[in-house]
Amino acid sequence: MTLLEVRGAAKRFGAVQALDGVDLRVTAGEVVALVGDNGAGKSTLVKAIAGVFPLDAGEVLRHGALSVVWQDLALCDNLDVVANLFLGRERVRHGLLDELEMEREAQALLARLGVTLPAVRAPVSALSGGQRQSVAVARAVLAQPKVMLLDEPTAALGVAQTAQVLQLVARLRSEGLGVLVVSHNLADVFQVADRIVVLRLGRKVAELDPKAASREAVVAAITGATA
């Protein structure tokens, strides 16, 4: 089932054609990797899908709610994990915060996603990069989206933390979500993606199956060299 469809997306910033007739589909239970060199238009596409700005041409069709995990995470370091998960969606009882309910829901959610943290009442500032990323993803999941967009979720992470986040992405897929993940790391992409979409200078130049395509083919599509 198609959850997200982009048709002929075009966006220009001054002299830069950031997106040029891009088509994209994400179906349920599928991880689509969006790759491309710096400035290829990946973040622009994510923002256009999320509705941050309108497209010049083309359309975005969404079948179901969508949440985004932005590259800079946007967590409140001074608040604990539970408070961050429920920020803007606090559970309230008799006009007061229902901490018990939020803690219960947080525990259940984190367990479901296979995220292990030292304590849900620890301030986010005390967590590792991978744990913070996991909290940001869990926060997005709490909105019960059908589609998740992740912009470079492993960019700043070490090996073990990257594995943790990739596992989380796989978990989202097994729950039937459609996932669009932007990444620079081809090892990650080959590990988790069902499909690879390559952007170059705002155009979609290739759509590859990681089981069939070689890494060289992807690199060639990204750089534009003839393989």
Q: What are phi and psi of 89, to 5 degrees?
A: -135, 35
155, β-bridge pairs = none
Nearest distance from residue 182's CB to ligand ATP, in Å? Answer: 7
Binding status of residue 156 toward another protein by CB under 8 A: no
Nearest distance from residue 39's CB to Mg ion, in Å? Answer: 8
Looking at 10, 12, 21, 43, which residue binds Mg ion (CB under 5 A)?
Answer: 43
* Residue 107 token pair: 């525990």
Which of 46, 57, 64, 103 has the alpha carbon at shortest distance from 80?
A: 103
Q: Which residue, 38 or 174, is less far from Mg ion as judged by CB?
A: 38
Contacting residues for 168 by C-beta, under 8 A, at least 6 apart: 113, 114, 115, 134, 137
Residues 104-133 that bind another protein (CB under 8 A): 125-126
Q: Which residue, 19 or 115, is less far from ligand ATP as judged by CB?
A: 19
Nearest distance from residue 91's CB to another protein, in Å? Answer: 9
* Residue 130 token pair: 């991978």
Q: What residue has token string 């969404």?
A: 62
Contacting residues for 53 by C-beta, under 8 A, at least 6 apart: 11, 47
Chain-centroid distance of CA 16 in Å reads 25
Binding status of residue 98 toward another protein by CB under 8 A: yes
Report the DSSP pairing between strands 147-151 and 96-97: unpaired
58, β-bridge pairs = none
Binding status of residue 87 toward another protein by CB under 8 A: yes
Nearest distance from residue 16's CB to ligand ATP, in Å? Answer: 4
Q: Interface with ligand ATP by CB under 6 A: which residues? A: 13, 16, 18, 36, 38-44
Nearest distance from residue 171's CB to Mg ion, in Å? Answer: 24
Rg (CA), the chain: 18
Element (H, E) at 91: none
Q: Which residue, 103 or 188, is less far from ligand ATP as judged by CB?
A: 188
Q: Which residue, 42 or 173, is less far from ligand ATP as judged by CB?
A: 42
Binding status of residue 101 toward another protein by CB under 8 A: yes
Binding status of residue 213 toward another protein by CB under 8 A: no
Q: Which residues make up the interface to Mg ion (CB under 5 A)?
A: 43
Q: Which residues make up the interface to another protein (CB under 8 A)?
A: 70, 73-79, 83, 87-90, 92-101, 125-126
